[in-house]
Copies of this chain bind each other. A is one copy, B any other.
């Protein structure tokens, strides 16, 4: 089980949280996603992601981009 902390820029509301949660949940191996919303176009929110397989930063970046936001950093 791996846990990742993602910093994501640009979430402004609960709809944004739902959208990015859905995209991250679709990554192979991801089991849970919890987003703590810090609302604002330039604000950075933190997502805690648990996975039962290793997930690459590129996979997270693609998912966040797909939802329309910017992945600032990933730490394991």
- For this chain, the copies found in one complex come to 2
Q: 1/0 per position for A1-25, CB-CB distance to B under 8 A?
A: 0000000000011011011000000
A30 beta carbon closer than 8 Å to chain B: no
Count how many chain A residues have C-beta atoms less than 8 Å from C-beta atoms of the other chain: 8
Whether B41 contacts A41 by the Cβ 8 Å rule is no
Q: Which residue of chain B lies nearest to A13 when distances are taken between CB atoms in the complex? A: B12
Q: A13-B12, A15-B19 are in contact. Are A39 and B41 (CB under 8 A)?
A: yes
Alpha-carbon separation in the docked complex, A37 to B71 (Å): 24
Give the residues in chain B near A13, CB-CB below 8 Å: 12-13, 15-16
Question: Interface on A for B, CB 8 Å cutoff?
Answer: 12-13, 15-16, 18-19, 39, 41
